[in-house]
C-alpha cells in the first residue's frame, strides 16, 4: 500500500472513532470536557519561601503522592485546600542533632516545625536494629542515625554489647575502660570493622562524641575518619576538650578536627559550636572560618541557648581545676530536674548516678552582656546550621517512650528538645532582627540538607520546589514562639499551624494528629 493511501485510511479510521464518540455523547446528553485530576493537597495564598531558588512570594503549592508537584501563582484544585493567607510556607526543618528518637520526642519536635530529626552526633549501633525498631513503631517525622563510634568503643574496650539508644551510652558512663584507655591497633581495627559494617547497613555517617573520651588516641580518631572518607560520608564531632585553659583547650580540640579534615578529605561537621567553645567562641569562629576559606571541608551547627545539657559523669566535670577550665563555673550554673545543685548535691549525684542528665549554664548574659554576643556569633555563623541537641524526655530516671501523648506534666529535658527552631525564629528574626526570615529558614532547611548531600534522599529535602518531598511547615511569623523553659520544659511551641510530612499533615490547624505516622527512614542505600 502506498504511503498516501495508508495515511488516508488512518485518517478515515480516526474520524470514524471521533464521530462514534460524538454520537455517544449526543445520545447521553454529556458535555465534552476533560476533567483535571485534583491534587491531594493545596496550600493556598501563603508567603512561599524556597531557600534553593530564592523564591519569596505569594504562591499556591500543590502536593500529590508525597511530592511537591506545583508552585504557582495560578489557582490550584485539590481534594483538600489549606488557607495559608498571612502565613509563611517553607520546607520542613531538618534537625541534624536529635538524641530524642522516641515517639513522644518526635511529637514534641513536630510542634517546633521539625520534619526530619537525625541522631548524628552520638550515633547508634547496631544501625539495622535501630531502623527496624523505629519503623515498627512508626514516627510522625522522618528519622535516621549515624554509626556510633562511642558504642563501638564500649563494645571493644569494655565488652559492652551495643544497644541502639542514647540510654545505652548513659548506662555505660561508669564503665572503666572506654573513657580513659588508649586502644591498641587491633582494637582500633575492631572498632573500624563495626563502623564499616554499620555504614554498609545505611548509616548516615559516623558520630564522634570524643569529648566524653578525651584520653582516646588521636591516631584512633584519624583512622576512624579514614573509614568515613572511604565511604564518602561526613563525620559529626563533639570535640575532645571543653576548656578555655591551655593545654587541652577547646581551641586545641578544634585544631585537631581541622587537621584530620585537611589530611583525610573527610567532610567533618562540628556539633554545637556554641557550647563546646565556651567563652572562646570568637577565637574558635575565626579559626574555623579561616580554615573553611582555605578549602578545609568543615561545617558547623549551633543552638540558641546559653545552657548545655549532658551527663554529670562526663570528663569535663572531673579532674583538677575543672570548674576553672570551664570558664569559672560555680555551683549555681548546674541544675538537675529543674533544681539548682550545690557542691554537696553535685558530688553526690555524680557518684550515685554518673549517667544523670544535668543542665550547665556555660554563658550568663544576665551577668555579663558580652556573653549574648558570643552566643550570637555561633548561632549566626555564616553557612552554619541550626540544630537542637534535643534530649530524650524523662520522668525522674524513667524514659518517656511508646504511644504517649501528651507528655506527662513532670516530663523533663532541656527546653531545646521542644523549642529550638521556633526560639530562633522568635528571637533572632522577629524580636532582635539579626537575620532575615529567608536566611533563617535556609539555616534550618537547605544548609542541613546540603551537609548530608551524600544521602540521596536529602537532595529533595530542605527545598520547596517541584519534585521536592512534601515536608512543609505553615506558620505565623508574628506569633511563632517557644514556650519551654528550664523549669517547665514540657511545653509545645506555638505558631506552627500545619506541619506536613510526606504530604500528610502531622500538625493540622495547630493540633497533633496522633494517628498520623508518615515519617520515613532517612538511610543510605544498604550495600
Distance set, CA 221 to CA 149, 162, 189, 260, 275 (Å): 9, 20, 12, 8, 21
504 CA to centre of own chain: 20
- Report if residue 196 sits inside a domain: yes
Q: Are residues 314 and 177 in the same domain?
A: yes
Distance set, CA 449 to CA 8, 92, 282, 418, 500 (Å): 57, 11, 26, 21, 17
- Report if residue 384 sits inside a domain: yes
**Residues 6+ positions from 309 with CB-CB distance below 8 Å:** 357, 358, 359, 360, 389, 391, 413, 414, 416
Q: Are residues 196 and 106 in the same domain?
A: yes
Q: Are residues 163 and 27 in the same domain?
A: no
- Report if residue 65 sits inside a domain: no
User: How many distinct structural domains can be found in the chain?
Assistant: 2
Q: Are residues 368 and 485 in the same domain?
A: yes
- Which grid cell sits at 17? 472513532
Q: How far apart are CA 422 and CA 112, in angstroms?
A: 6
Estimate the crossing angle of helix 281-293 against helix 250-264, to 10 degrees. 10
Q: 39 near 64, Cβ under 8 Å?
A: yes
pTM: 0.91
Domain containing 468: what range? Answer: 91-110+118-512
Q: Are residues 98 and 170 in the same domain?
A: yes
Strand partners, 357: 311
pLDDT number for residue 22: 39
Q: How far apart are CA 344 and CA 329, in angstroms?
A: 15
pLDDT number for residue 179: 95
Q: Are residues 98 and 13 in the same domain?
A: no
Q: Are residues 353 and 488 in the same domain?
A: yes
Strand partners, 50: 55
pLDDT number for residue 21: 38
Q: Is the peptide bond before 126 cis (omega within 30 degrees of 0)?
A: yes
pLDDT number for residue 208: 98
DSSP 8-state class, residue 521: B
In the predicted model, residues of the chain with pLDDT beneath 70 are 1-36
Phi/psi at 353 (5° precision): -145, 75
Q: How far apart are CA 423 and CA 143, in angstroms?
A: 22
- Report if residue 432 sits inside a domain: yes
pLDDT number for residue 36: 60
Q: Are residues 19 and 123 in the same domain?
A: no
- Which grid cell sits at 323? 570548674
Looking only at the bridges linking them, the beta strands covering 142-148 and 114-124 are parallel
Distance set, CA 4 to CA 13, 15, 162 (Å): 14, 17, 77
Q: 257 near 268, Cβ under 8 Å?
A: yes
Q: Are residues 257 and 371 in the same domain?
A: yes
Q: Are residues 29 and 147 in the same domain?
A: no
Query: Positive or negative CA dihedral for 401, 494, 498, 385?
Result: negative
| HEC profile of 218-270 | HHHHHHHHHHHHHHCCCEEECCCCCCCCCCCCHHHHHHHHHHHHHHHCCCEEE
- Report if residue 101 sits inside a domain: yes
- Report if residue 277 sits inside a domain: yes
Q: How far apart are CA 258 and CA 517, in angstroms?
A: 40
Distance set, CA 396 to CA 104, 121, 284, 368, 412 (Å): 16, 24, 36, 33, 8
- Report if residue 353 sits inside a domain: yes
Domain with 324 in it: what CATH number? 3.20.20.140
pLDDT number for residue 106: 98
Q: How far apart are CA 183 and CA 187, in angstroms?
A: 6
Q: Are residues 254 and 379 in the same domain?
A: yes
- Report if residue 245 sits inside a domain: yes
Q: Are residues 290 and 414 in the same domain?
A: yes
Looking only at the bridges linking them, the beta strands covering 55-64 and 41-50 are antiparallel
Amino acid at each position: 500500500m502506498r504511503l498516501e493511501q495508508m495515511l488516508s485510511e488512518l485518517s478515515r479510521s480516526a474520524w470514524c472513532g471521533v464521530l462514534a464518540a460524538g454520537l455517544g455523547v449526543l445520545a447521553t446528553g454529556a458535555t465534552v470536557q476533560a476533567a483535571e485530576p485534583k491534587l491531594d493537597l493545596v496550600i493556598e495564598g501563603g508567603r512561599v519561601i524556597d531557600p534553593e531558588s530564592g523564591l519569596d512570594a505569594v504562591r499556591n503549592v500543590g502536593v500529590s503522592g508525597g511530592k511537591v508537584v506545583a508552585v504557582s501563582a495560578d489557582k490550584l484544585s485539590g481534594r483538600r485546600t489549606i488557607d495559608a493567607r498571612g502565613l509563611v510556607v517553607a520546607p520542613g526543618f531538618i534537625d541534624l542533632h536529635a538524641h530524642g528518637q522516641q515517639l513522644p520526642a518526635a511529637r514534641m519536635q513536630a510542634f517546633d516545625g521539625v520534619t526530619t530529626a537525625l541522631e548524628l552526633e552520638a550515633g547508634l549501633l547496631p544501625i539495622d536494629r535501630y531502623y527496624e525498631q523505629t519503623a515498627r513503631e512508626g514516627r510522625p517525622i522522618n528519622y535516621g542515625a549515624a554509626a556510633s563510634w562511642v558504642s563501638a568503643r564500649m563494645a571493644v574496650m569494655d565488652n559492652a554489647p551495643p544497644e541502639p539508644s542514647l540510654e545505652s551510652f548513659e548506662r555505660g558512663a561508669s564503665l572503666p575502660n572506654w573513657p580513659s584507655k588508649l586502644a591498641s591497633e587491633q582494637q582500633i581495627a575492631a572498632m573500624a570493622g563495626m563502623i564499616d559494617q554499620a555504614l554498609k547497613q545505611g548509616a548516615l555517617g559516623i558520630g564522634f562524641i570524643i569529648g566524653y573520651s578525651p584520653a582516646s588516641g588521636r591516631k584512633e580518631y584519624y583512622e576512624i575518619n579514614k573509614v568515613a572518607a572511604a565511604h564518602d560520608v561526613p563525620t559529626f564531632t563533639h570535640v575532645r576538650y571543653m576548656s578555655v585553659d591551655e593545654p587541652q583547650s577547646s581551641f586545641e580540640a578544634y585544631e585537631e578536627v581541622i587537621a584530620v579534615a585537611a589530611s583525610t578529605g573527610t567532610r567533618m561537621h562540628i556539633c554545637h559550636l556554641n557550647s563546646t567553645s565556651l567563652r572562646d567562641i570568637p577565637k574558635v569562629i575565626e579559626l574555623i572560618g579561616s580554615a573553611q576559606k582555605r578549602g578545609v571541608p568543615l561545617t558547623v551547627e549551633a543552638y540558641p541557648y546559653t545552657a548545655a545539657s549532658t551527663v554529670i559523669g562526663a570528663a569535663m566535670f572531673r579532674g583538677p581545676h575543672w570548674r576553672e577550665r570551664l570558664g569559672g563555673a560555680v555551683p549555681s550554673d548546674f541544675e538537675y530536674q529543674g533544681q539548682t545543685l550545690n557542691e554537696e548535691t553535685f558530688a553526690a549525684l555524680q557518684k550515685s548516678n554518673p549517667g544523670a542528665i544535668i543542665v550547665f549554664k556555660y554563658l550568663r548574659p544576665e551577668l555579663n552582656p558580652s556573653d549574648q554576643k558570643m552566643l550570637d556569633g555561633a548561632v549566626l555563623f555564616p553557612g552554619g546550621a541550626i540544630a537542637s541537641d534535643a534530649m530524650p524526655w524523662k520522668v525522674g530516671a524513667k524514659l518517656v517512650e511508646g504511644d504517649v501523648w501528651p507528655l506527662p506534666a513532670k516530663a523533663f529535658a532541656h527546653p531545646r528538645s521542644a523549642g529550638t527552631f521556633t526560639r530562633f525564629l522568635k528571637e533572632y528574626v522577629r524580636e532582635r532582627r539579626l537575620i532575615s526570615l529567608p536566611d533563617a529558614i535556609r539555616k534550618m532547611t537547605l544548609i542541613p540538607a546540603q551537609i548530608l548531600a551524600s544521602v540521596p534522599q536529602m537532595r529533595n529535602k530542605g527545598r520547596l520546589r517541584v519534585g521536592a518531598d512534601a515536608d512543609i511547615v505553615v506558620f505565623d511569623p508574628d506569633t511563632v514562639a517557644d514556650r519551654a523553659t528550664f523549669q517547665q520544659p514540657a511545653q509545645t511551641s506555638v505558631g506552627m499551624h500545619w506541619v506536613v510530612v510526606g504530604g500528610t499533615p502531622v500538625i493540622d490547624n495547630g493540633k497533633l494528629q496522633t494517628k498520623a505516622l508518615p515519617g520515613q527512614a532517612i538511610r543510605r542505600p544498604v550495600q
